[in-house]
């Protein structure tokens, strides 16, 4: 493969399958010069041909998961947008991006629910929404506890989501996410002796292996994380409606 990054090489990476060799640029150059391995260099495809390959690959994989994707439970434009982003990423196999958007969904739902409760259901009630865009998710959780949106059990769920899912994906903590992952029976080629041996290799021993491990982890965990995110979103929005409805019919409000 040539060293350029273009649409053709992007499609190669997105549709990667089969055996993958990992080496340094220096070792690859040496292999090419000494011809110790049967290595061929591919040439970039025209953009339209590359895109055709991408869409066909995506279609086959999308058809396997399309009916499993959760529909948006709220007929509101912002939530529809966030659910659409999650599902569109998943349909194209971009599960890491889909999970990152799950974090955005939960954070937005929490902040919107706090705003709804603090304004007593009146968006014109003097509390500027921009203020909520400037606070962290951790601060939002504390604020949600203060206004009665979260009890002790709920608090643990949202803090756990923040620490275990939202933060690692938003900050791309790839080492943390792939810690403990091992690739079994990896063939290791010694360029000096020409010998090959099989080893179990830890993902964190190599940055490229971390990427490969993360891609598989993202794929395996996406559906469960989407379910958790959807449940947290629906719970907090429903709770905010309940609080406002209760306040409007309570003796104090009459």
Phi/psi-derived region of residue 137, left when phi > 0, alpha when psi is between -120 and 50, beta in every other case: alpha
Closest CA to 90 of 116, 112, 69: 69
pTM of the model as a whole: 0.86
Cα 140–Cα 224–Cα 70 angle in degrees, nearest 5:
85
Between CA 250 and CA 234 the distance in angstroms is 24
Write the CB contacts of 51 (distance below 8 Å, at least 6 apart in sequence). Answer: 7, 11
Structure tokens at 117: 């409760």
Structure tokens at 142: 């504390």
Of 32-46, 67-81, 152-166, the one with minimum mean pLDDT is: 32-46
Whether the predicted pLDDT of 207 surpasses 50: yes
Q: What pLDDT is attached to residue 38? A: 64
pLDDT digits (tens, 9 = 90+) for 138-192: 999 999 999 999 999 999 999 999 999 999 999 999 999 999 999 999 888 888 8
Higher pLDDT, 122 or 38: 122
Between CA 237 and CA 111 the distance in angstroms is 10
Residue 251: pLDDT band (50, 70, 90) is very low
Whether the predicted pLDDT of 15 surpasses 50: yes
Closest CA to 228 of 149, 166, 141, 152: 166
Residue 36: pLDDT band (50, 70, 90) is low
Between CA 195 and CA 139 the distance in angstroms is 56
Instruction: Map tokens 């179990």 to a residue.
Output: 200
Of 43-57, 117-131, 209-223, the one with minimum mean pLDDT is: 117-131
pLDDT digits (tens, 9 = 90+) for 210-234: 999 999 999 999 999 999 999 999 9
What is the β-pairing status of strands 196-202 and 182-189? antiparallel
Backbone angles phi, psi at 187, to 5 degrees: -80, 120
């Amino acid at each position: 493969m040539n060293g350029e990054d273009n649409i053709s090489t992007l499609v190669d990476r997105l549709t990667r399958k089969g055996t993958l060799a990992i080496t340094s640029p220096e070792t690859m150059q040496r292999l090419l010069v000494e011809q110790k391995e049967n290595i061929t260099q591919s040439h970039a495809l025209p953009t339209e041909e590359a895109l055709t390959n991408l869409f066909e690959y995506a279609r086959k994989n999308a058809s396997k998961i399309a009916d499993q994707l959760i529909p948006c439970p709220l007929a509101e434009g912002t939530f529809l947008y966030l659910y659409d982003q999650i599902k569109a990423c998943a349909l194209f196999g971009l599960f890491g991006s889909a999970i990152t958007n799950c974090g955005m969904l939960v954070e937005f739902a929490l902040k919107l629910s706090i705003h709804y409760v603090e304004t007593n259901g009146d968006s014109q009630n003097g509390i500027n929404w921009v203020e909520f865009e400037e606070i962290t998710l951790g601060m939002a959780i504390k604020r949600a506890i203060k206004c009665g949106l979260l009890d002790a059990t709920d608090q643990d769920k949202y803090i756990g989501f923040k620490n275990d899912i939202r933060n690692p994906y938003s900050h791309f903590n790839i080492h943390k996410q792939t810690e403990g992952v091992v690739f079994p029976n990896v063939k290791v080629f010694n360029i000096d002796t020409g010998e090959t041996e099989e080893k179990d290799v830890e993902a964190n021993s190599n940055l490229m292996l971390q990427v490969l491990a993360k891609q598989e982890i993202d794929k395996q965990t996406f559906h469960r994380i989407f379910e958790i995110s959807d449940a947290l979103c629906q719970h907090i929005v429903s709770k905010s409606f309940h609080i406002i409805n209760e306040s409007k019919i309570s003796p104090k409000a009459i």
